[in-house]
Amino acid sequence: MGAQFLVLRDVDEHASTREFPQNRGHHFRNRLSKPIRFVGRGWHVGMVSLSLPTIPVVGEDFVGNQEPLLYIRWYERVYAKDDQGDDVWWHQRRELTVKGQDMKDSWTSSTGVQFFHQLVYRYEQDRARQTQSKNKWAESDGLKLYPTFEWTVQGDLLLNTVHVDYKSQVARVSWGKSLALKMGWIEQVSTGQYRLGPNLLQEFHSDTIPTPTDVPGANNKPTFWKVDGTYLVLSVTCNWRFVNLNDKFRPSAEFPSTCPLHVYCNVGTSSMVGNRITDLLREIKYHPQNTTHFEPRHIQYVPVHNEVVEIVETQMAETNGDVVQFGEGHTILTLHFKREVVV
């Protein structure tokens, strides 16, 4: 046998998928139409080309669906004149619900901080849009009828409730439960039971602990927070600090623009990679968001493992060992076998 090429596919014309129904783009087996027998010593195999499917953009599940992300209620003092021409004021309830699908246009955010900047900006713009001239967002004594968000120098999001009315015209801030669980603001202890998570910090305005009359809990007892249906409801009697936004939030692309990919194949001789023995054929750099066709300028050869090859197993994995979750398309691997003369 002289030098030859071998083309392997996750779905091939020899019906390997019927024999190996678990074949996928990242891990597949091929039974060769005819076994390859390597006569003599000095046979090596190298990767000539590799075509990969696309890798879908993977974001948080709650972005793009109907689940709520944020609900805010506030009030506005509305100005008018009565029949006698005197100035009169009354309170108009305003509210905003932001669902996951409403933030699809903001899903290009590369960090959690950027995403929540856009979410808070959406609330601020909606509050400004709904108001009318001469109306006010505060009582005559300065008591605010709306909650405010601020950003700290550490990149934390602060729900500032200082001088916010929580007794008569009650402002309300509620986060979607799925979002709160993902961000580590709450943790589920058991079915229907939750506790505050490490990424939501409660901060009081003074050394005197207030009575949170705005969030009635079980048996109508006052509580600072509760999970109510699909929402995490927070009392506005204290401040809330949301930390580690970048650590917990997955950006729009799960993978960087390029990253290493390990191509494994049982045809080549095993070698030590890190602290384990593997059938690593080649490491390449790939672009996850595009169909990738890789042709190395210089083919790297490794010794052939067995004298006879009948079933070829191929796997694509990241450097940490996790298989790559491909989208649509097929994987095509072309191998080249050559014999080096042994003197």
Q: pLDDT (tens digit, 9 = 90+) per residue, 275-298?
A: 677 889 998 877 665 557 888 888
- Both tokens assigned to 19: 């024999």
Q: Can you tell me the mean pLDDT for 313-325?
A: 79
Query: Does residue 96 sit in the same domain as residue 42?
Result: no
Tokens 């023995």: give the residue.
Answer: 277
Of the candidates 203, 227, 248, which is a domain's last residue?
248
Of the candidates 248, 272, 296, which is a domain's last residue?
248
**pLDDT at residue 120 tops 60:** yes
Selected residue with higher pLDDT from 103 and 267: 267
Query: Does residue 98 sit in the same domain as residue 215?
Result: yes
Query: Does residue 35 sit in the same domain as residue 97?
Result: no
Give a yes or no: residue 268 inside a domain. yes
Q: Which of 31-45, 186-200, 232-246, 254-268 has the lowest mean pLDDT?
A: 254-268
**pLDDT at residue 93 tops 90:** yes
Going by DSSP bridges, is the β-strand pair 239-242/200-203 parallel, antiparallel, or unpaired? antiparallel
Selected residue with higher pLDDT from 133 and 249: 133
pLDDT recorded at residue 313? 93
**pLDDT at residue 109 tops 70:** no
CA torsion angle 72 77 80 86 (round to 10): 170
Query: Does residue 95 sit in the same domain as residue 175?
Result: yes
Residue 189, classed as helix, strand or coil, is strand
**12 pLDDT band (50/70/90 cuts)?**
low
Tokens 């990919």: give the residue.
Answer: 261
DSSP designation for 112: H
Query: Does residue 17 sit in the same domain as residue 127?
Result: no
Selected residue with higher pLDDT from 328 and 302: 302
pLDDT recorded at residue 258? 58
By C-alpha distance, which of 1, 8, 67 is closest to 36?
A: 1
Q: In whole angstroms, give the CA distance from residue 25 to residue 53.
A: 7
Query: Does residue 167 sit in the same domain as residue 28?
Result: no
Query: Does residue 78 sit in the same domain as residue 160?
Result: yes
Give rounded-to-5 percent helix, strand, coil for the chain: 15, 45, 45
Query: Does residue 288 sit in the same domain as residue 321?
Result: yes
Query: Does residue 24 sit in the same domain as residue 160?
Result: no
Tokens 């602290």: give the residue.
Answer: 275
Largest CA distance in the chain: 113
Query: Does residue 277 sit in the same domain as residue 144?
Result: no
Q: In whole angstroms, give the CA distance from residue 173 to residue 239.
A: 11
Give the Å distances, CA to CA, from 264 to 43, 221, 281, 313. Answer: 18, 60, 5, 8
Give a yes or no: residue 170 inside a domain. yes
**pLDDT at residue 108 tops 90:** no
Query: Does residue 277 sit in the same domain as residue 210?
Result: no
For the chain, give the percent of residues with pLDDT over 70: 85
**62 pLDDT band (50/70/90 cuts)?**
low
For the chain, give the percent of residues with pLDDT over 90: 44
By C-alpha distance, which of 332, 336, 337, 342 is closest to 53?
A: 332
Residues 208-263: tens digit of each pLDDT: 999 998 999 888 899 999 999 999 999 999 999 999 988 877 654 444 455 678 89
Give a yes or no: residue 324 inside a domain. yes
Tokens 């191998």: give the residue.
Answer: 335
User: Which segments of 12-67 are extended strands (E)?
Assistant: 27-37, 43-52
Query: Does residue 231 sit in the same domain as residue 91?
Result: yes
Give a yes or no: residue 77 inside a domain. yes
Q: In whole angstroms, give the CA distance from residue 92 to residue 81.
A: 15
Of the candidates 230, 248, 266, which is a domain's last residue?
248
Domain holding 298: CATH number?
Answer: 2.60.120.1100
**pLDDT at residue 59 tops 60:** no
Give a yes or no: residue 305 inside a domain. yes
User: Whole domain around residue 44: which residue ranges?
Assistant: 4-58+255-339
By C-alpha distance, which of 124, 121, 159, 164 is closest to 141?
A: 164
**58 pLDDT band (50/70/90 cuts)?**
very low
**pLDDT at residue 14 tops 50:** yes
Domain total of the chain:
2
Give a yes or no: residue 63 inside a domain. no
pLDDT, averaged across the chain: 84
Q: Work out the number of other CB atoms within 10 angstroms of the CB of residue 277.
A: 10
Q: Which of 49-58, 293-302, 315-324 has the lowest mean pLDDT?
A: 49-58
Give a yes or no: residue 205 inside a domain. yes
By C-alpha distance, which of 128, 131, 134 is closest to 80?
A: 134
φ, ψ of residue 188 in degrees (nearest 5): -90, 120
**81 pLDDT band (50/70/90 cuts)?**
confident
The per-residue DSSP string of 184-251 comes to TSEEEEETTEEEE-TTEEEE-SSSSPP--TTSB-GGG-B-SEEEETTEEEE-TTSEEEE--HHHH---
**Cβ neighbours of residue 175 under 8 Å, at least 6 residues apart?**
69, 70, 71, 185, 231, 232, 234
Write down the pTM of the prediction. 0.58
Residues 143-190: tens digit of each pLDDT: 999 999 999 988 899 999 999 988 888 899 999 999 999 899 999 999
pLDDT recorded at residue 63? 60
